[in-house]
Each structure stands twice: as C-alpha cells, then as structure tokens.
Amino acid sequence: MDAVLALLHDLVAIDSVNPSLVRGAAGEARVAALIADVCLAAGLEVHVTEVAPGRPNVVALVEGQAPGRTLMLCGHTDTVGVGDAMVSPFGPREHGGRLYGRGAQDMKGGVAAMIDAARQITARGGLARGRLVVAAVVDEEYASIGADALVREWTADAAVVTEPTDMRMAVAHKGFAGVEVVTTGVAAHGSRPQDGRDAIFRMARVIGALEQLDRDLQAGRTHPLLGPASLHASIIEGGREASTYPDTCRLLLERRTIPGEPSQRALDEVQAILASLAARDPEFHATARTTLARDPYEIDPLAELPQVLGRLAASRGLDPAPTGVSFWTDAQILSAAGIPTVVLGPGGAGLHSDEEYVHTSDVIACRDLLVALADAYL
Ligand SMILES: [Zn+2]
C-alpha cells in the first residue's frame, strides 16, 4: 500500500469530532499526537501549539539548504459529528478505489497528502532552498480557532489548503454570516387579544421580508465562479403553550456572501428590514445581532501561485481551469493574513453526510502534485 494511504487509514481510525460542534466529542488531541509522531519519525521539525485545552495545532517544517521562499500546506484535523446511520465511521474501509469513513474526504485525505508530501521531500534529501510549512489545524468545522492561531505565529509566501475540490484548483469561495433575530410580544391568556401581542406573528413579517430579500439576492449580482449570494432561515423557536400569546420568538438565519460583500452586510440588511417594519407598526419590536461571520475569499487566478499550480496540474492531466467552491474554508483566514492561497484537494463524496469517502487515487495524485509544487515554487 502507498504510504499516503496507510497514513490516511490511521488518521480516519482516530475519532476527531469537533467538541464545539458536538458536546463531549473527542477533539483533535489524539490525531494531532499521531501527526506529530509521524512527522518527527520522518525527520521533520515539529511544533505543537495548544490552541485551546486538548486542541493542539501541529506545524511541521522542512528547512531548505539555503534561505528562500516559504510554501505552506494547511489542513484541518477536526471532523463533523457522526449520524446514527453511519456504518463504522472510525473503521476505515477501502473498496473500489474509495476509502470510507468520517473525515475521509473532509479532510483527512488532504491532510495525509500534505504530510506525506513533506515526508517524501525529506526522504529524498530535503529542499535546496526555502521552507515548507505543513500545518494541521483544529476547529475548522466550527470557529477556526486553529487557523486564527496559526497565522498569528506563522506566515508564508504562498499556501495551499487541501480541502476536497475534486483535484480542481479553487480560487474563490463564499463567506457566511449567522444573524439572530428576536421579536418581542406581550404574553397574555389566549382569550384576551386586547392584552396579548403575538411575537410569532411579528416574526412572520420578518420572514416574509427575508424571503423576498433572498429572491432579490439570487436574482442579483452573480460571481463568475460562485453564482449569487443567498440566505435561508436555519432555526426558529418561540411560544410556550397553546393557550398563551407568545412573548418572544427567535430566528437564526444564515446569509452566504460572495466576494465584494463584507460579512457585515447581512446584519445591515436585517436591520433595514426591522426598521421598515417598525416604521409601519409602532408595536413592532425586534432586535438582531451577528452570531458568527466569516468573509468570502478569492485570489486573482493570474497571480503567481495559481499560475504555477495550474501549469503543474495541466502537465499531470488534471483540469487546470480555476474554479470556485461554495463552502467556506480556512483559505479565507490565510488569505486575509496576507498569504496568497488556493484550495486544492482530493475528490470523493458525502462530506458531512452518512456515507463519506475519498478517492484513493486522488489522495496519491494530490500528494504528488504538492511535491511538484514545492519543487517548482521553492
Ligand atoms: Zn473541511
């Protein structure tokens, strides 16, 4: 078996469900310890930084013979949770060119590829110049405290985030903003409309306006690689019992942003809706706040890194055309820290769902492409 696939088996076999997503979940400590051991055994310089209790980033370095530029490879070690229907999520199975298990595609395939690329470079004698930084970070599936900590300590001249892109080079992805809206009514006995003010009815007005806003967004400006922005209502709760006017209703919505839209835009739009509803009805009371927001990301496809990587991809029979991915990644954090970044990783299917797999040939191809990129760029 190719060493990168053996490593992938070992990574998938360790439960590293994000404990901020799933209460009491395992977290990244054990998988980080394995990565640190593997990198030390391969002769890499290893730095472990505990970002939160039991949640370490691992950074491994290959130092060149002479000074030069720095290339960073970055992947996250956490995974989303496991549904009841998932068959042996941490017992990796290989079948028909696919490796199944939680995190196989998102993104232990990409993590195995970047670590094994560094191992191969070290084994064949290291780099003539420059530095390769391999960063395995925590918490991408929740709040990216790992990537935030990484860019405070480390920098690079270019970076590849090896999230799953079917081996296409992604140069853009959307951002997101969660907004919580609370409408306020007055609790009263259900028989006394003169006293009660229905917070749920008031939220219905907000939802009507949000649905119109979503239609306008989707019919509006379109990013060439990402399409239009959008929003959806995620969670709603309100009311206490059948015979009481609800005094409060809470809605969580999520707005997906495209490059050119700051994540603050979502809250501004919601505030404008609330202000216009309040102007029409003095008894309408509502507040809004941002819960978690991350900006969109893009890099000029004509910049050096996408050009170099595109040429290498084409020479290996891969599709070199730049693409976009809909999901958010740590590429935005690296990019905002001034590191030109692209997203490229192995293909598969089922990320975040009950059957997840990665194509094993893509994991090997990704590893080989990263070795070639280090040679070409450094
Ligand atoms: Zn991911």
- Indicate whether 222 and 143 sit together in one domain: no
Mean pLDDT of all residues in 165-193? 97
Residue that is last in its domain, among 294, 319, 345? 294
Q: Which amino acid is at 226?
A: L
CATH number reported for the structural domain that contains residue 275 in this entry = 3.30.70.360
Measure 354 CA to ligand 1 centroid, in angstroms. Answer: 16
Of the candidates 357, 356, 333, 21, which has an alpha carbon nearest to the alpha carbon of residue 156? 333
Burial bucket for residue 53 (CB in 10 Å: 0-12, 13-18, 19+): exposed
pLDDT tier for residue 163 given thresholds of 50, 70 and 90: very high
Name the pairing type of β-strands 170-173 and 323-325. parallel
Residue that is last in its domain, among 263, 294, 325? 294
pTM score, two decimals?
0.93
Residue range 214-241, pLDDT digits in tens: 999 999 999 999 999 999 999 999 999 9
Residue range 44-61, pLDDT digits in tens: 999 999 999 999 999 999
- Indicate whether 141 and 180 sit together in one domain: no
Residue range 12-34, pLDDT digits in tens: 999 999 999 999 999 999 999 99
Measure 179 CA to ligand 1 centroid, in angstroms. Answer: 23
Measure 304 CA to ligand 1 centroid, in angstroms. Answer: 25
- Indicate whether 276 and 144 sit together in one domain: no
Domain count, the chain: 2
Residue that is last in its domain, among 294, 326, 345? 294
Of the candidates 149, 157, 163, which has an alpha carbon nearest to the alpha carbon of residue 131? 157
- DSSP string for 227-261: EE-EEEEEEEEE-S-TTB--SEEEEEEEEEE-TT-
pLDDT tier for residue 124 given thresholds of 50, 70 and 90: very high
Of the candidates 280, 286, 281, which has an alpha carbon nearest to the alpha carbon of residue 267? 286
Whose tokens are 């997840």? That residue is: 356
Measure 173 CA to ligand 1 centroid, in angstroms. Answer: 13
CB atoms within 10 A of CB 278: 13
As given in the structure block, the two tokens for residue 78 are: 């956490």
Statement: residue 272 has pLDDT above 90: yes
- Indicate whether 16 and 147 sit together in one domain: yes
Hey, which bits of 14-90 come out as E strands?
45-52, 55-63, 66-76
Residue range 328-377, pLDDT digits in tens: 999 999 999 999 999 999 999 987 788 999 999 999 999 999 999 999 99
Measure 188 CA to ligand 1 centroid, in angstroms. Answer: 47
pLDDT tier for residue 243 given thresholds of 50, 70 and 90: very high
Measure 101 CA to ligand 1 centroid, in angstroms. Answer: 14
pLDDT tier for residue 167 given thresholds of 50, 70 and 90: very high
Which residues does residue 60 pair with via DSSP β-bridges, in sequence order? 46, 134
- Indicate whether 23 and 139 sit together in one domain: yes
Measure 29 CA to ligand 1 centroid, in angstroms. Answer: 17
**213 close to 231: Cβ distance less than 8 angstroms:** yes
Secondary structure (3-state) at 75: strand
**62 close to 128: Cβ distance less than 8 angstroms:** no
- Indicate whether 56 and 158 sit together in one domain: yes
Question: Average model confidence (pLDDT) for the chain?
Answer: 96
Mean pLDDT of all residues in 296-319? 97
Mean pLDDT of all residues in 292-312? 97
Statement: residue 84 has pLDDT above 90: no
Statement: residue 88 has pLDDT above 90: no
- Indicate whether 38 and 64 sit together in one domain: yes
As given in the structure block, the two tokens for residue 199 are: 């917070």
Show the 3-state SS of 320-359: CCCEEECCCCCHHHHHHCCCCEEECCCCEECCCCCCCEEE
Hey, what's the torsion of the CAs at 95, 101, 103, 106, to 10 degrees? Answer: 40
Give the up-direction half-sphere exposure of residue 253: CA atoms within 13 A in the CB hemisphere: 26
- Indicate whether 52 and 98 sit together in one domain: yes
- Indicate whether 225 and 260 sit together in one domain: yes
State the pLDDT at residue 261. 95
Residue 377 gets the label, from left (phi > 0), alpha (psi -120 to 50) or beta, of alpha
Q: Which amino acid is at 199?
A: A
Measure 146 CA to ligand 1 centroid, in angstroms. Answer: 13
Q: Which amino acid is at 38?
A: V
How far apart are the C-alpha atoms of 165 and 172, rounded to whole Å?
12
Share of the chain above pLDDT 70, in %: 100
State the pLDDT at residue 195. 97
**340 close to 187: Cβ distance less than 8 angstroms:** no
- Indicate whether 149 and 249 sit together in one domain: no
CATH number reported for the structural domain that contains residue 44 in this entry = 3.40.630.10
- Indicate whether 158 and 244 sit together in one domain: no
- Indicate whether 62 and 25 sit together in one domain: yes
Measure 109 CA to ligand 1 centroid, in angstroms. Answer: 10
As given in the structure block, the two tokens for residue 362 are: 């893509």
Q: DSSP state, 10?
A: H
How far apart are the C-alpha atoms of 178 and 131, rounded to whole Å?
38
Statement: residue 263 has pLDDT above 90: no
Residue 256 gets the label, from left (phi > 0), alpha (psi -120 to 50) or beta, of beta
Q: DSSP state, 87?
A: S
- What is the extent of the structural domain holding 280? 175-294
How far apart are the C-alpha atoms of 80 and 86, rounded to whole Å?
12
